[in-house]
Amino acid sequence: MTAAARILVTGSAGRVGSKVVRRLLDAGRAVAGFDLRPAGIEHPAYREVLGRFDDRTAAMDAVSDADAILHLGAFMSWLPTDGDRLFRANVEGTRVLLEEAARVKSRRLVFASSGEVYPENVPDYLPLDEDHPLKPRSPYGLTKLLGEELVRFFERTSDMPATILRFSHTQDAAELLDPESVFSGPRFFLHPKIRQQEGFGNTAAVALLKQADDGREALVLSRNESGRPFQMHITDTRDMVDGILLALDHQAAAGRTYNLGAAEPVDFAAALPGMAELTGLPLKTIDLPGNGVFYRTSNARIRTELGYEPRWTFDRMIEEAAQAWAKRRS
- Tell me which residues touch ligand NAD (CB under 6 A): 11, 13-17, 35-37, 52-53, 72-76, 89, 93, 112, 114, 167, 169-170
What is the smallest separation between the CB atom of 84 and ligand NAD, expressed in angstroms?
Answer: 12
Whole-angstrom distance, CA of residue 194 vs CA of residue 179: 12
What is the smallest separation between the CB atom of 6 and ligand NAD, expressed in angstroms?
Answer: 18
Half-sphere exposure of 273 (CA within 13 A, CB side): 4
Nearest to 144 by CA among 123, 174, 120: 120
Q: Specify the residue, 53 or 206, whose C-beta has the smaller distance to ligand NAD.
A: 53
Q: Which residue type sits at 166?
A: R
Q: Specify the residue, 75 or 258, whose C-beta has the smaller distance to ligand NAD.
A: 75
Strand 169-171 versus strand 6-10 pairing type: unpaired
Q: Specify the residue, 206 or 297, whose C-beta has the smaller distance to ligand NAD.
A: 297
Q: Specify the residue, 48 or 155, whose C-beta has the smaller distance to ligand NAD.
A: 48
- Nearest residue (beta carbon) to ligand NAD: 14
Per the DSSP assignment, residues forming a β-bridge with 164 are 111, 257
What is the smallest separation between the CB atom of 131 and ligand NAD, expressed in angstroms?
Answer: 19
Q: Specify the residue, 53 or 281, whose C-beta has the smaller distance to ligand NAD.
A: 53
CB atoms within 10 A of CB 146: 18
What is the smallest separation between the CB atom of 311 and ligand NAD, expressed in angstroms?
Answer: 18
Q: Where does the chain have alpha helices with state H? A: 15-26, 56-63, 83-87, 93-103, 139-158, 184-188, 190-200, 203-211, 237-249, 268-279, 300-306, 314-329
Q: Specify the residue, 28 or 40, whose C-beta has the smaller distance to ligand NAD.
A: 40
Q: At what angle do helices 268-279 and 314-329 cross, to 10 degrees?
A: 30
What is the smallest separation between the CB atom of 210 and ligand NAD, expressed in angstroms?
Answer: 27
**How far is residue 66 CA from its own chain's centroid?**
23
What is the smallest separation between the CB atom of 231 and ligand NAD, expressed in angstroms?
Answer: 16
Q: Which residue type sits at 274?
A: G
